[in-house]
A and B are shown apart, each in its own frame.
Chain A
Amino acid sequence: MTFDHSLLWQYAPQLLKGFELTVVVWLAGSLLAVVLGFALGCALLSKNGAVSLPVRGYVEFFRATPLLVQLFVAYYGGPSIGITLNAFTVGVFGLGFYGAAYFAEIFRAGFASVPPGQIDAARSFGIPRWARIRHIIVPQMLVLSVPPGVTLLIILLKDTAILSIVTVPELTFQVTGMTIETFAFVEPFAVLAALYWGMTELVAFFGRRAEYRLGRYLQ
């Protein structure tokens, strides 16, 4: 078996475009997932059931159904109720809403693992509630959220491949197109796997650095 380099060079422009889009969709979706997940995580901790229960329902739904099914519902089901979204929008929001459910749980757990004694100490000095959250809870919660958060970012990065099915022209979409046109499978998919691997290793590398730098006080 030979590995045909020329094929790759021939398709380099498409691959590059797909790669760019993968990174853009992943970054935008992750940003949405983190921000929305943070808000949802706070809401999960609310003692008011009118706030926490709907959010709990949201988290359960997005965790209990496959991302692919959620994308189908939004992309193909949307028009029947009058919502027509382009593939890119469905991709970013699909990834973001899906990831947010997991981030909500990560942040909720992070909040809950700051020892209550530290809050007692802050209260005993009369440090107001918002200052307690901002200066004592959130910094530690973020540090505790880094390891599971990085894992989730890696999962989301790989899940961008699923967006090819709803015609987002990202990397996997381009490579699939390439195989259909050339009937070559080994080269395109080997390169595809290598590119994902490379990207996730890079994310993991920065994740480990962040974990080390932010968590220095624990060592």
Chain B
Amino acid sequence: MAAGISRDEPALLRVANVSKWFGAHQVLNSVSLSVQRSEVVCIIGPSGSGKSTLLRCMNFLEEYQSGEIFIRGKLIGYANARSGQRVRDSERNIDALRRDVAMVFQQFNLWPHMSVLDNVAQPLVLVYGKPKAEAHARARRVLEKVGLGDKIDEYPLRLSGGQQQRVGIARALAVEPAAILFDEPTSSLDPELVGEVLQVMKQLAGEGMTMVIVTHEMHFAAEVADRVIFLDQSTKVEEGTPREVFFNPKNERTRRFLETWAERNSLFTRNHAETAQRAPSV
């Protein structure tokens, strides 16, 4: 738990018993969680467990069929009609709540026809009505912060994956959101480019940014997360501090998931050790 937060402050993000189906297939089964200001929450779990869908529900890129998601205490996506039945909220209201939570995507999802500077500045212009000069000035500042001050005039497709993702993070930072949602931010990067993105994220965590991160980077999660949530088969199976979840998991499924992960990684290091041992005799 992040320090210095009064107990009675409402959660910045609260997910309450959210269930979602794609047709007959249930992808989220009554998932609940809450995120306090300045907290870093990592969501881990096998592919297809519903992690990304959960994250996408949190700023209503996906509809959900039951349960509720609150951003600063306000229900996103739905309004209660007089009949008691809930109806989809107006796009205007949904958009207004979305402003509080920015998102960073696995595939970056930059707008390729705009320069790096415009990618970061455009939401400020289109959503907040900022004058272009002001938007560009702020965009330049955040791009410098993520180490891309020299790339502002490039088009995104001319950058490496790691640089593109840092533009994605800058774009999220520029709108000064209350929280940033990261959807597997390093999963589509070449291994040697993962580090530069994680480093920027670590820096943000250190500055007190509220972050919800869906990730397969266990070491990173162990290092920066205040809390780790393990999702499996559409259900929240375990939640706790990194120490609790990684070193003393209560649930059998968590244990198995972490064992598989550790095995794959130790196998990798063992192979390296063997190669190293053999090397002199050749």
Contacts and interface: CB of A to CB of B under 8 A. Distances in A.
A139 B118 CA distance: 14
Contact of A125 (B110, B123, B156, B157): B123
B203 interface: no
Contacts of B103: 120-121, 124
Contacts of B111: 118, 121-122, 136
A129 B92 CA distance: 10
A162 B33 CA distance: 69
Which range contains the number of A residues in contact with the other chain? 20 to 34
B109 A121 contact: yes
B82 interface: no
B112 A218 contact: yes
B98 A126 contact: yes
Contact of A217 (B56, B99, B101, B157): B157
Interface in B79-120: 91-92, 94-99, 101-103, 105, 107, 109-114
A139 B156 CA distance: 16
A2 B97 CA distance: 80
A126 B113 contact: no
Contacts of A115: 107, 109
Contact of A118 (B109, B127, B157): B109
Given A126-B98, A143-B113, A217 B155 contact: yes
Contacts of B94: 126
B61 A120 contact: yes
Contact of B98 (A125, A143, A216, A217): A125
Interface string B173-196: 001000001000000000000000
Contacts of A135: 122, 126
Contacts, number: 73
Nearest to B96: A126
Contacts of A121: 103, 105, 109-111, 171
B127 A127 contact: yes
A123 B107 contact: no
Nearest to B59: A124
A33 B59 CA distance: 40
Contacts of B61: 120, 123-124
A125 B109 contact: no
A143 to B, nearest CB: 7
B91 A129 contact: yes
Interface residues of B, number: 32
A127 B110 CA distance: 14
Contacts of B110: 118, 121
Contacts of B156: 217
A117 interface: yes
Given A121-B111, A125-B102, A125-B175, A216 B155 contact: yes
Interface in A103-162: 115, 117-118, 120-129, 131, 135-136, 139-140, 143
B117 to A, nearest CB: 13
A127 B101 CA distance: 13
A110 to B, nearest CB: 13
A144 to B, nearest CB: 10
Interface string A175-219: 000000000000000000000000000000000000000001110
A125 B155 contact: no
Contacts of B91: 128-129
B109 A217 contact: no
A36 B271 CA distance: 64
Nearest to B156: A217
Contacts of B155: 216-217
Given A115-B107, A118-B111, A126-B98, 20 more contacts: A118-B110, A118-B112, A121-B171, A123-B61, A123-B98, A124-B103, A125-B102, A126-B99, A126-B127, A127-B123, A128-B91, A128-B92, A128-B126, A135-B126, A136-B111, A140-B113, A216-B155, A217-B114, A217-B157, A218-B112
30 contacts: A115-B107, A117-B109, A118-B110, A118-B111, A120-B56, A120-B61, A121-B105, A121-B110, A121-B171, A122-B111, A123-B61, A123-B98, A124-B59, A124-B101, A124-B102, A124-B103, A124-B181, A125-B123, A126-B94, A126-B96, A126-B98, A126-B127, A127-B122, A128-B92, A128-B126, A128-B127, A129-B91, A217-B113, A217-B157, A218-B112
The 6 closest A-B pairs by CB, nearest first: A126-B95, A121-B109, A124-B103, A126-B98, A117-B109, A217-B155
